[in-house]
Amino acid sequence: MKTLFPLLISICAAVHTAWADWSIHTEFYVVTLAKKQAAALMPELRDDANIDAAFAKLERLVTAGEAHAVATLTGRCDAGGKLESKQVDEVKYASEWEPAKPVGDGKVPAVALNPTMFDVREVGVRFSAESAVSPDGQTLRLKTEESHVRLIGWSEVEAARLPDDSKVTLKQPQFSISRHAGSISLKSGKRALLGVHAVPGKPDEVELFILRGWTTPAAK
């Protein structure tokens, strides 16, 4: 049986308080599947008592190849701290250029375009949370922000014109982003559906953001 989600490392910056006797753990899941399948699961996914059963069905869909596990981000920090996890690649591209300069002997119209500035955009999945926990460790209070940035293609932009008035174009990246931010209270060990998003270029699919959180006694 294949693994549902790859595990990823996270970073945590903990802000200690007098009541930080607990460590907080999170698993953030991103899954895509057909709209019809998602609609059938939605009542259970939105029900605290049945979301674990719905997630088990999602696992079976992934194993059967009927859903796609995009990422799992795992995190840990002390109560009162902030955690961040991400699975990203960097896309580097030129964003500014020097004015076009003619090159060659003039027989063939040509110009040189030298970039003067580059931008870098992270493409992938990111999850962050500011955390708190009840004194008994049974309830997590999380302020979360999560996103999925995709590179969806390249568009041509005019960068210069040749002496014969023909255009010189350069390709620039196009991105899409699915984002959610909010606050949630979560019983330790439980899951919650954070968001449902469209999938760019796939009108018959949706993307689910699902979070699981739990506590353990903090190391002394």
Residue 102, in any domain of the structure: yes
- Please tell me the pTM assigned to this model: 0.84
| pLDDT reading at 9 higher than 60 | no
Q: Where residue 107 falls among pLDDT bands split at 50, 70, 90? A: low
For residues 43 and 57, the answer to whether their CB atoms sit within 8 Å is: no
Residue 191, in any domain of the structure: yes
| Rounded alpha-carbon distances, angstroms, from residue 187 to 14, 68, 138, 191 | 21, 27, 6, 8
Residue 65, in any domain of the structure: yes
Residue 88, in any domain of the structure: yes
Q: In sequence order, what are the residues at sequence separation of 6 or more whose Cβ sits closer than 8 angstroms to the Cβ of residue 108? A: none
Q: Is the backbone of residue 124 left (phi > 0), alpha (psi -120 to 50) or beta?
A: left
Residues 50, 60, 8, CA angle at the centre, nearest 5°? 90
Range of the domain at 155: 10-217
Residue 5, in any domain of the structure: no
Residue 3, in any domain of the structure: no
Name which residue leads in pLDDT, 167 or 53. 53
| Rounded alpha-carbon distances, angstroms, from residue 155 to 129, 175, 209 | 34, 11, 29
pLDDT score for 220: 66
The count of domains in the chain is 1
Residue 81, in any domain of the structure: yes
**Which residues sit opposite 149 in a β-bridge?**
124, 177
Residue 4, in any domain of the structure: no
Name the one residue in this structure whose structure tokens are 């059963």.
53
**Which residues sit opposite 194 in a β-bridge?**
none
Nearest to 126 by CA among 150, 146, 152: 146
pLDDT in tens, 157-190: 877 777 777 787 888 999 999 999 999 999 999 9
